Structure 1
Amino acid sequence: MASRILFILHIPPPINGAALVGKYIKDSEIINTRFETQYVNLTASFSLEKIGKGGIEKFKHIFDIVRNVVKTLKQNKYDLCYMTLTAKGAGFYKDFVIILLVKLFKVKIIYHFHNKGVALNSKKWYNAMLYKYAFKNTKSILLAPSLYKDIEGFVSKENVYFCPNGIPEYATLNTFEDLEKGDIKPCKFLFLSNMMRQKGVLELLKACSLLQKQHLKFECHFIGAWADITEAEFNSTVKKYQLEHIVTFHGKQYGEDKVAFFETSDVFVFPTFYHNECFPLVLLEAMQFGLPVITTDEGAIGEIVLNNETGIIVKQQDVDSLAEAMLKMLKAPDIRKKYGAMGKKRFAENFTLAMFEKKMEAILTKALNN
């Protein structure tokens, strides 16, 4: 008889890394065939604007989640509970209630982290007490070894598994064309993420303004949902730097529309300094489409993008460093092509969805047997 696993995880909306991975697991033929599965959606905020905020509607969603977990635990006996634990803040306190319920029913727990903040948050004594209880007799899944330092104060390494994220594969085109001498085709930079300050949106606009002063031919395309940067602020910044003929915002793009942007761009730029950044799926997308990447060393990004091999890693919030990397890519199509090809190869060897599903199946099997 197959082992029974209760998955308590995030599922879109909204669309973010944790929710997408949750959907991949829920839809996984490998996992659902190997185990007897049940799913509970842990999402309490169904739009980007409401993440991290309270309100009557959100408390109702939380109450519904708790009630659903209780009902599910009463109806079935589970061998393991998989849970995408929020590392800190209000989300952690909400998740802690779920942890209490699961432990009350004496079900083994394995956490899967898509964010970080345990080390910093545990400096408050009451949080340290909660973490100590939450991690006791549990296993954890991290996206990369470099993220272990965030939980090492509460979890021994033998109770930790490492599983990099993976994404579906597309039949991609060769993004790069050999540029003949005299070709004046502008270099196309692409940014794709939620329009948040900590994703480096304003730094990228400033870097574009520096490049523009050198009278270089390039374009910068932005894709994403408005978050703490509003449409009015973005447009006023573009106007301030006189980038109207260089910068274009395309809103949210999905499916084939999004694919078209990857296939027609030359360089992917992601100058994030977001405090929760761990393993951005968008970098995997860019790599599988053969795009060289300009990004920062936040979370486990340094284990995705290899500096001066598949892209360039720049200092966070350093506009000059960002502009310098963009200039290098702009002036050297041969380097773009080389880094892009190496990134595409690295993606195929490490970050496909099929690889992720197989690793996740193996980890869950080990957790059940230990």
Structure 2
Amino acid sequence: MVELMPRRVMVVGSVPPPVHGSSVMAERLLDALEMLGVESILVDKKLSFSIDEIGGGSIRKAGRAARFVNRVGKAVPDGSPLCIYFLTCAPGSFLVDCLALYRLRRRRARIVPYLHGIGFQTLAAKGRLWRWMVAWSFGVAERVVILGRSAYQDVRPWVDESSVFVVPNAVPPPPPGALRGRTRHGSSDDETRRTRFLYFATLDPEKGAREFLLAARHCRHAGLDADFIVAGQSVDEAYTEDLRSLAQSPELAGRVRMTGGVFGEAKAALFREADVFVFPTRYRHENFPLVNLEAMSFGLPVISTRRGCIPEQVPHGKAGLIADSNAPDALADLMLAVARSAKLRARLSRGAKELYEAEYTPEAFAERWREVLHECYNAG
């Protein structure tokens, strides 16, 4: 039996640069469509050209927004095409999205919002007009794609569960040779050296680098012989300087390495040399962070927080440990537990690697999109 799918799909989303979760996944969606033999028409909705611009407003960005909305309308091919739209919940970007969705509806596109952030109920709570716009944006949708089952609660007032598809994020496997020096399930071959904890994310206050270092200080107070790596691009120099000062405090002096932004082979090397990955995020739009998946692909146990879909992404006790908050003492308790038990560390390492290989590879991602496209094609 031949599986029916659309031959051509519009994708409206931003691709790198800058590099952030949804732009990376826009590229991976294009790769998945190519893998499935589906032609893609990309309309790049890039409004920011650097990490520093994200979240801010300017006359220049307003001009880019106007040109983007105009491009969307002109890019729609004839014949009611399927359009996968990266819908945002940040207020300014959401207003632009509503204008673009209106243009798409006027051209009879069949819209499938693809949601990478949590916060639509917060957006709707801003007032009556915002509630109407959120309801309208989902009302024009044919289907909705979310990253995890728990993300449905954010859109439940406007979206019927039967029209929702769950397509978790995915990351490619480590490059050839990147796991050299690690056991089959990812833990370090050298059991005599100090435990190495890695934090890797943008140095944004909501992403938890400071909480990581404060937890590291708790660990040192408890007598743990360990090293701590902080990797990520700075977006707030005052905050980054505060991190440097904390890293040089007496309890942490000589035990913390701050690398700045790291990419490519250097990034893989950091994951390879680490024993445990820690991501204590409190980011308000956190959903299904790629950094946790990257750590799992290297077989690293993940210690993270109860934000967005993280508890289902990293099952507690199977692939990592989930803290109820990013309070440093709570994080330190979990870090100490993993560092002091080789048996627990090995079990979580094995679970992380196995879960990645079963659920979060590019192949698994493409197969889930095959189901979405097949269902949308038949519904149309």
Same fold (TM over 0.5): yes
Counterpart residue type for residue 150 of structure 1: D
Distance 1:39 1:78 in 2: 16
Specify the alignment match of 2:113 in structure 1.
111
Distance 2:167 2:153 in 1: 16
Deviation of 1:369 after TM superposition, in Å, equals 2.1
Counterpart residue type for residue 351 of structure 2: M
Specify the alignment match of 2:63 in structure 1.
60
Distance 2:102 2:96 in 1: 10
Q: Following superposition of structure 1 onto structure 2, how do residues 214-253 of structure 1 map, counting pairs within 5 Å? A: 214-228=222-236, 230-240=239-249, 242-253=251-262
Q: Is the 8 A contact 2:144 2:164 kept in 1?
A: yes
Q: Is the 8 A contact 2:15 2:26 kept in 1?
A: yes
Distance 1:165 1:296 in 2: 18
Deviation of 1:320 after TM superposition, in Å, equals 1.0
Q: Following superposition of structure 1 onto structure 2, how do residues 126-145 of structure 1 map, counting pairs within 5 Å? A: 126-138=129-141, 139-145=143-149
Secondary structure (helix, strand or coil) at the match of 2:131 reads helix
Deviation of 1:179 after TM superposition, in Å, equals 6.1
Counterpart residue type for residue 222 of structure 1: V
Question: Residue 346 in 1 paired to residue 355 in 2?
Answer: yes
Q: 1:186 aligns with which of 194, 198, 204?
A: 194
- Identity %, equivalent residues: 28
Count of aligned pairs: 365
Q: Which moved more, 1:3-12 or 1:236-245?
A: 236-245
Spell out, residue by residue over 1:199-243, the C-alpha distance to the aligned partner (whole angstroms, 9 max, x if none).
Answer: 111111111112222343111101111123643222122234542
Spell out, residue by residue over 1:312-356, the C-alpha distance to the aligned partner (whole angstroms, 9 max, x if none).
Answer: 111223211111111112211221111101110111111111110
Spell out, residue by residue over 1:54-90, the C-alpha distance to the aligned partner (whole angstroms, 9 max, x if none).
Answer: 11221222122122212212x6444211100002411
Question: Residue 3 in 1 paired to residue 7 in 2?
Answer: yes
Question: Residue 270 in 1 paired to residue 266 in 2?
Answer: no
Question: Residue 26 in 1 paired to residue 30 in 2?
Answer: yes
Distance verdict in 2 for CA 1:2–1:322, change over 3 Å: closer
Deviation of 1:4 after TM superposition, in Å, equals 2.9
Deviation of 1:305 after TM superposition, in Å, equals 0.9
Specify the alignment match of 2:160 in structure 1.
156
Q: 1:120 aligns with which of 96, 119, 122?
A: 122
Q: Is the 8 A contact 1:315 1:322 kept in 2?
A: no
Q: Which moved more, 1:215-224 or 1:239-248?
A: 239-248
Distance 1:322 1:55 in 2: 38
Q: Is the 8 A contact 2:32 2:365 kept in 1?
A: no
CA-based RMSD: 1.8
Distance verdict in 2 for CA 1:100–1:258, change over 3 Å: same
Q: Is the 8 A contact 2:303 2:322 kept in 1?
A: yes
Specify the alignment match of 1:196 in structure 2.
204
Counterpart residue type for residue 89 of structure 2: A
Secondary structure (helix, strand or coil) at the match of 1:295 reads strand
Distance 2:66 2:201 in 1: 30
Q: Which moved more, 1:103-112 or 1:234-243?
A: 234-243
Distance 2:48 2:9 in 1: 25
Q: Is the 8 A contact 1:163 1:360 kept in 2?
A: yes
Distance 1:95 1:137 in 2: 12
Distance verdict in 2 for CA 1:101–1:29, change over 3 Å: closer
Q: Is the 8 A contact 2:32 2:362 kept in 1?
A: no
Question: Residue 70 in 1 paired to residue 79 in 2?
Answer: no
Q: Is the 8 A contact 2:80 2:108 kept in 1?
A: no
Distance 1:54 1:77 in 2: 36
Secondary structure (helix, strand or coil) at the match of 1:366 reads helix
Spell out, residue by residue over 1:18-60, the C-alpha distance to the aligned partner (whole angstroms, 9 max, x if none).
Answer: 1111011223364562x33210111211211111111122122
Specify the alignment match of 2:170 in structure 1.
166
Spell out, residue by residue over 1:89-114, the C-alpha distance to the aligned partner (whole angstroms, 9 max, x if none).
Answer: 11111111101100111111000000
Q: Following superposition of structure 1 onto structure 2, how do residues 304-319 of structure 1 map, counting pairs within 5 Å? A: 304-319=313-328
Unaligned runs of 5+ in 1: none
Distance 1:204 1:111 in 2: 34
Distance 1:241 1:203 in 2: 17
Distance 2:54 2:34 in 1: 31
Distance 1:66 1:321 in 2: 46
